[in-house]
Structure formats: structure tokens, C-alpha cells
Amino acid sequence: MAIRELVYLGDERLRQRAIKILQVTPELTKLAADMLETMRYHDGVGLAGPQIGVMRRIFVAEIPEPEPDSDGTPHPYAGVSFVLINPEIVKQSRDLLEATEGCLSIPAWSGCVERAEWVEIKALNLEGQSFQMRAEGFLARVFLHELDHLNGALYVDHITDYQKLWNAEDEVRNGENPSHDP
């Protein structure tokens, strides 16, 4: 496994549509392992191919397990790592939820984005088998954010009000509370 170099905002590759994967090969297993390692190294919850310059339709996602002393309800998918190849939305809720997002390709920035509450998504796994799953809440948000990356879109594209976009480093400098409620 290896930590790959990230691609950042301003790089044209983040604006290009990734190409469908025609064959699931052992190299793809290695790529997915690298993507998961790179994502965890940067404390991310998702990473798409174009973010490491691989213009293929693949993304990984993993919501970390909560800290042992956390009293929050753990997400049902916490600690599960997902690899989705050629993902496609089958169905998604009309109801939208607004919540905070960040992106490893846009360090230090966060913003409030509306996303579907749940999404049914179909994809191939690393064995080349087709599967379909329903993701809700935060996982749905992560999947939709990563799917955007495969189509050259970024979360900031969904933000039309500048007050819904902020820089965490500015807040630390100004001594403000860095936590925002959407």
C-alpha cells in the first residue's frame, strides 16, 4: 500500500469526467487499498479516483468509529470500508438535508451543502460483482460527494451563498469557535 499524492482545487483533473472501468483487475484492488490508506492518512471519509489523478470511476469511503469516550450514537456503517466501482444512482430521496462538508482537495475549507437524505446506489465490487445498496444520512452524503468527483463536480459548486462557505484556519486565527452548525 502507498499513500498517493492528492490533487487540489485548481487542477483541471478535478473538473474532468472520470472514465468507466471496463475490467476489474488485481491492480484495481491495489489502487483501492492505496486510496483507503491515503484517505485515512488525511483523516478523510471518502476519496475518489480523480483526487489522486486516477481518472477512473472508483471511490472509497469509510466513516471512522467514534472515539471510545464518545457518547454519540455510532453510525451504523462506522468502521466499514466501501469500494464502489462505476457507481450509479438508482434512486434518491427528494427530501434534502443541509450539513457541513469538506474535501481533501480543498484543504481548510468547509461549507453547508444540501444533499438527498438517502440514496440507492449500484456499483461493482472488487470481485467485479454488481451490488446495490441504500445509504442514509452521512453515508449518503459521502457517496453523493464522491460521485460528484467522478463527474468533475465539487461540493463548492452547490454553494450559492458565500456565508455558507468558511475557512477553518481563519476562525482559529480570529479566535472564533471552529464548530459550525449548519
Write down the least CB distance from residue 156 to Ni ion, Å.
10
Residues 8-37 that bind Ni ion (CB under 5 A): none
Residues 122/90, Cβ–Cβ less than 8 Å: yes
Nearer to Ni ion, 83 or 103 (CB): 103
Q: What are 4's three cell numbers?
A: 498517493
Residue 103 lies near Ni ion (rule: CB under 5 A): yes
Tell me which of 146, 169, 171, 176 is the catalytic residue: 146
Q: How far is CA 112 from CA 1, 41, 98, 149, 182, in A?
A: 33, 24, 6, 17, 6
State the alpha helices, DSSP H only, in 10-74: 26-41
The C-alpha torsion from 156 through 162 and 167 to 170, rounded to 10°, is 170
Number of residues that bind Ni ion (CB under 5 A): 1
Per-residue x/- track, 50-89, Ni ion (CB under 5 A):
----------------------------------------
Residue nearest to Ni ion (CB): 103
How many CB atoms lie under 10 A from the CB of residue 143? 26
Write down the least CB distance from residue 87 to Ni ion, Å.
14
Specify whether 146 is catalytic.
Answer: yes
Rule CB under 5 A: which residues touch Ni ion?
103
